[in-house]
Homo-oligomer: A and B are copies of this chain.
Amino acid sequence: MEELQTNLSAIDVIIDYLLECSGKMLRPRLVYLSALLYPHESEKVIDISVAVELIHMASLLHDDVIDRADCRRGRESVNHRWGNQASVLTGDYLFAAAFNLINRYPLAQVMDSITSTIQTMCTGEMKQMSMNSNLGITEEDYYDKTYRKTACLFASSCRVGALVAEAPPEQVMILERFGLNLGYAYQVIDDVLDFTADAEKLGKPAGNDLTQGNITLPVILALKDQEKGIKLRNLLDNGRSSADKMPAVVNILWECGALEKSIIQSRKFLKKALNNLQQLPASPARQALKDTALYLMDSYNQRLMDGKQGEGRLQSGNA
């Protein structure tokens, strides 16, 4: 992408590395499809979609520095390969490139959505840090963190797509709610998968969140269980789990139904998201948004079924 050329080999090499393995492109797809519901200028929509993906890439670069992650998308993370310095700078560069792209158009509301979303995302990361290894966090804390870390960018993606295409305000709001619910559905199932999928498929060790002290919904629900809650608490030394205790932790999460309850919760959010879509006029773009949501969740469910631990249990859970 020419917008990203710096003529400075250090940054260009990192950007090429990021583009080689570009992930699901979910957020720009949400921007694009939300605009596609209405008459729109194609180039403008594409630029804003790209800007949203750049913001996402930048936030991942910074998150990996913060979490000291050594891999991302199944490969060595940028911070692990080129150092924290390069990650921080390339992230800043991409943020600025995104704003530059948005600023090509007089789209004040879009700029406002994106900058506010970034601020919310930063406070979400801070909240996660401040609650690290804290076994006292509530479901409400979890959903607030999930809103800030994930769902708000999903919501904002749909919102800015609709804004670019000058959708009627009430439909902008409906699309925003769709993105929000899809974002919650996505993060909750992602948090489940962290416990249940193969390390190979995850591209990181199973239970990675909990070994890092990131307390997610399944753990919060399991800690509430009268019998298993105490067992789990005993396994979680200082609010995190060592890798060797992870099989026992995952066992508890299945046994007390915490993983299943989380899966049900994710499906509830997905259902809400699909209901939001129903409030919009039928069109191929609406169908494409629905397909995107279903495909995303199906692919997660498939990975859940593939997970060795989940295999028997999930089927019985579904019965």
Q: A-side interface residues toward B, CB under 8 Å? A: 6, 8, 10-11, 59, 62, 65-66, 84-86, 88-93, 95-97, 99-100, 103, 106, 108, 111-112, 115-116, 118-119, 121-123, 125-127, 129-130
Say whether, besides A93-B119, A123-B93, A129-B10, A88 and B62 are in contact (CB < 8 Å). Answer: yes
Asked whether, in the complex, the Cβ of A129 is within 8 Å of the Cβ of B86, the reply is yes
User: Which of A59, A86, A125, A130 is most buried by chain B, counting CB atoms within 10 A of its CB?
Assistant: A125
Q: Is the contact region of chain A dominated by helix, strand, or loop, or is it mixed? A: helix
Asked whether, in the complex, the Cβ of A115 is within 8 Å of the Cβ of B100, the reply is yes
Asked whether, in the complex, the Cβ of B103 is within 8 Å of the Cβ of A11, the reply is no
- A92 to B90 CA separation, bound complex (whole angstroms): 12
Asked whether, in the complex, the Cβ of A11 is within 8 Å of the Cβ of B92, the reply is no
- A194 to B287 CA separation, bound complex (whole angstroms): 63
Say whether, besides A10-B130, A85-B129, A100-B112, A122 and B65 are in contact (CB < 8 Å). Answer: no
Chain B min CB distance to A150 (Å): 16
13 new A-B contacts, CB < 8 A, other than A59-B92, A85-B125, are A62-B88, A66-B85, A66-B88, A86-B126, A88-B88, A89-B122, A89-B126, A90-B122, A93-B119, A93-B123, A95-B95, A103-B108, A106-B108
Asked whether, in the complex, the Cβ of A103 is within 8 Å of the Cβ of B111, the reply is yes
Chain B min CB distance to A99 (Å): 5
Asked whether, in the complex, the Cβ of A65 is within 8 Å of the Cβ of B92, the reply is no
Chain B min CB distance to A216 (Å): 19
Q: Which residues of B contact A126 (CB under 8 A)?
A: 8, 10-11, 86, 89
